[in-house]
Chains A and B, each alone.
Chain A
Amino acid sequence: MTTSTPTRAAVTEPDRRLPALGGFAPGALGIELRRVLRNRRTLAFTLIMPGVFFLIFGLPQGGQSLDNGRPVTAYIMISLAVYAAMVATTSVGGAVATERALGWSRQLRLTPLRPAAYVATKLITAMSLGLLAVVIEFLVGAVAGVRVPAYVWLLSGLAAWVGSLVFAAFGLFIGYLAPAENVMQIIGPVLAVLAMFGGLFVPVEVLPDVLQQVAKFTPVYGMGVLARAPLTGDGVSLAAVANLVVWALLFGVGAARLFRRDTARV
């Protein structure tokens, strides 16, 4: 130690090393999660509304069975779980738009937090809320009397949750597309239309022929088919897997490109 100025002598020299993982920290993630769970609108649209939908549209189908004898209510419950998860992950990803509009992302550039660590935090937050949305929808279903084998709960839930990663990417894509404070008010209706084409509100099979063909190319279709496959026992078509992978890539690459544009220093 060399001699410091008297005012500094009592103060130890700060640790100037770079943070690990680009500033990604569980503590910040925790505050982020609490923040999301405090947002009444998010809770209403992702955790409460899908459950209420089930009680309104699902329960009246009680007693009816699918071709393989499984309850129709389970079909509706799984579809709504997919819907809940996609709204949840989109809203967290889309919040990037709000944070850009507020100037928070600029404020973050004055800290060691690397943009990739910021996006990682958003993705984990999105997937956490997505998981919570699936679990709550399944709880509502279970309490309301839906009974299926354990592997269906597990695999369908897992598929709904993992599939919602597509919409976490979609949310980020929208978030980096335009800074807007209330982006979810714009995306909400879009998600509803996509959910309809994905067979989350009514089976795709009841749609007119032309729309059925169109539906196969929309981004919810693949995750819907995959999530219901354990229940229906229908094989997983290559088209459904391809749908999921292609949309995940499209939104992922799109978000990455916009993200790079946003963080480029001009």
Chain B
Amino acid sequence: MTSTHPAVELDGLTKSFGAVTAVDGLSLRVQPGEVVAFLGPNGAGKTTTIDMLLGLSRPDRGTVRVLGGTPDDAVARGRVAAVLQTGGLLKDLTVGETVRMTAHFYRHTRPAAEVLERAGITDIADRVVGRCSGGQQQRLRFALALLPDPDLMVLDEPTTGMDVEGRRDFWQALRRDARRGRTVIFATHYLDEADAYADRIVLVRQGRIVADGTTAEIKNLAAGRTVRATLPGADQAALAALPGVDAVEVRGDSVLVRTGDSDAIARHLLTRTAARDVEITSRNLEDAFLALTTAQTGA
């Protein structure tokens, strides 16, 4: 590639549906060749962002640039392709016919046999789509996305609804392909997928990016421990004001304190408050994910 443009430039993207702000001032820049996981819980705004990235919907505010141009142009030139949750397939076409028909819409594509092979569905090319499993249909969508040999591949929760084997096959196909230097952005709410397949993780919550970095950097965010105790009527503000406290969460009679100094917090809880059942746990990527993507006070 000789292009010097970023693969994706999102700037201040905002999108509301009625009173709900799905995407709230989101800015993101992805360089060519990066494999980026867009990680967040359901309702975090991942799909809405991807729809705007692909030109399927228009932002209320903000701008989208894909490979230096508009999303519509990038799609029409086959520079960007996508595997979406919502894209349907015609049940009465065969797998091979679906690929060949889609290929006709482009000026130039990779050969149908090649994309079927790369998606791992050569053996079911003559099968009618309506008789394919969910995983096979998803690999067909992937084959369709491979047709234009896109510079940027976008996948929205591509393995939702697949069994473990299906997920593994799908990611293997994607990884084989990613070695070609393509930029890949995928949305997922599976931590292990983000961890295993992305160079970079962008964590989103409530339409905003709450963390952005390499997998290692995101894991470092989880450094420290969580102190959990039973403490009816906990004074959240007072606890949050203690030195070394990152976040305080009250769940019913339980209080969870995320901190870099668990000893001091445990001592405080046991000596200055009525807390009991104190537990101290170290945090992992999943905790970091939860801490960063769950609604909470403070930022």
Contact = CB atoms under 8 A, between A and B. Distances in A.
Contacts of B144: 107, 110-111
Nearest to B52: A265
29 contacts: A2-B2, A4-B1, A11-B180, A14-B78, A14-B148, A25-B105, A27-B100, A27-B104, A28-B105, A31-B93, A31-B100, A31-B101, A32-B101, A35-B97, A101-B88, A102-B91, A103-B87, A104-B89, A106-B86, A107-B84, A107-B141, A109-B56, A110-B75, A111-B105, A111-B106, A111-B144, A112-B76, A112-B77, A265-B56
Main SS at interface, chain B: loop
Contacts of A265: 55-58
Contacts of B179: 7
Given A14-B148, A31-B93, A265-B58, A110 B106 contact: no
B132 to A, nearest CB: 14
B88 A107 contact: yes
Contacts of B57: 265-266
Contact of A17 (B2, B56, B82, B107): B107
Best-surrounded residue of A16, A32, A107, A110 (most CB of chain B within 10 A)? A110
Interface size class of B (residues with CB under 8 A): 35 or more
Contacts of A19: 76, 105-107
Contact of B181 (A7, A20, A31, A107): A7
A23 interface: yes
A5 B181 contact: yes
A96 B55 CA distance: 22
Interface size class of A (residues with CB under 8 A): 35 or more
A15 B79 CA distance: 10
Contact of A112 (B78, B84, B180): B78
Contacts of B105: 19, 23, 25, 28, 108, 111-113
Interface string A18-51: 1110010101100110110011000000000000
A160 B106 CA distance: 36
Interface string A76-108: 000000000000000000000001011110111
A20 B108 CA distance: 11
B90 A110 contact: no
A110 B149 CA distance: 13
Nearest to A117: B105
A19 B84 CA distance: 23
B7 interface: no
Interface string B60-96: 0000000000000001111101101011111111000
A16 B77 contact: yes
B88 A104 contact: yes
